[in-house]
Amino acid sequence: MKSLAVSSNWRAPRQKTIPSSDQECIKLGRGSDDYYRCYIRYFVNTCYHPAGTCKMGNFATDPKAVVDNELKVRGIKSLRVIDASIMPNTVSANINAATLMIGEKGADLIKETYAKSTV
Ligand SMILES: Cc1cc2nc3c(=O)[nH]c(=O)nc-3n(C[C@H](O)[C@H](O)[C@H](O)COP(=O)(O)OP(=O)(O)OC[C@H]3O[C@@H](n4cnc5c(N)ncnc54)[C@H](O)[C@@H]3O)c2cc1C
């Protein structure tokens, strides 16, 4: 983190680290790893773009995967999750466009399933 803060790329557009006003973190030594761990716990937030809490993945190799690549929930029949929560990694931009595409893909998957069913 310290190296990032002094890098030329970081400094170019007049970026600067915001000093923590939290005394708990400062006590751990400003700039130390423990300081940044504490800082992240206090100050990281979703900026109203929560994603990835129900990640898509390969059940055979990823114990943290909740849905498969058809957005079906592990171990539950007839349940899909089709929203921003399935992102395995967040996109490096606003998530709405990607979320809309997840919705489109999910709708297609459901239509395919019903087209195949005999009901
Ligand atoms: C203030 C703000 C500004 C944003 N600005 C942008 C932006 O400029 N550009 C951009 O790309 N993205 C923006 N976003 C992010 C974008 O809105 C989200 O990425 C997107 O809406 C996520 O879609 P989602 O389907 O995952 O969740 P949501 O849109 O939150 O949909 C979840 C739905 O589930 C429903 N629900 C919840 N619980 C239940 C339940 N128990 N039973 C039934 N229904 C339930 C909710 O009512 C809601 O309709 C912004 C978000 C916020 C909050």
How much of the chain, in percent, has pLDDT values that exceed 70? 87
Q: Residues of 33-59 as b/e, b for ≥16 C-beta within 10 angstroms?
A: eebbebbeeeeeeeeeeebeebbbbee
For the stretch 36-88, pLDDT in tens is 999 888 888 888 899 999 999 999 999 999 999 999 999 999 999 999 999 99
Tell me the torsion sign for CA atoms 23, 25, 28, 31.
negative
Model's pTM, two decimal places?
A: 0.75
Report which ligand 1 atom has the smallest distance to the Cα of 85.
Answer: 26
Say what the pLDDT of residue 14 is.
Answer: 64
Q: Is the CB of 84 under 6 A from ligand 1?
A: yes
- 21 pLDDT band (50/70/90 cuts)? confident
67, β-bridge pairs: 56, 73
Ligand 1 centre distance from Cα of residue 106 (Å): 16
Say what the pLDDT of residue 16 is.
Answer: 63
- For 85, counting Cβ atoms within 10 Å of its Cβ (0-12 exposed, 13-18 middle, 19+ buried), the class is middle
Query: Scanning the structure block, which residue is given the tokens 């997840």?
Result: 102
Ligand 1 centre distance from Cα of residue 103 (Å): 12
Q: Is the CB of 96 under 6 A from ligand 1?
A: yes
How much of the chain, in percent, has pLDDT values that exceed 90? 59
Nearest to residue 40, comparing CAs of 22, 13, 16, 14? 22
Could you tell me if 80 and 106 are in contact, meaning their C-beta atoms sit under 8 angstroms apart? yes
Q: Is the CB of 48 under 6 A from ligand 1?
A: yes
Question: Which residues fall within 8 angstroms of residue 33, CB to CB, at 6 or more apart?
Answer: 1
Q: Which of 30, 49, 80, 105 is catalytic?
A: 49
Q: How far is CA 73 from CA 12, 24, 33, 54, 112, in A?
A: 45, 40, 37, 9, 17
Say what the pLDDT of residue 87 is.
Answer: 97
Known active-site residue 53: no
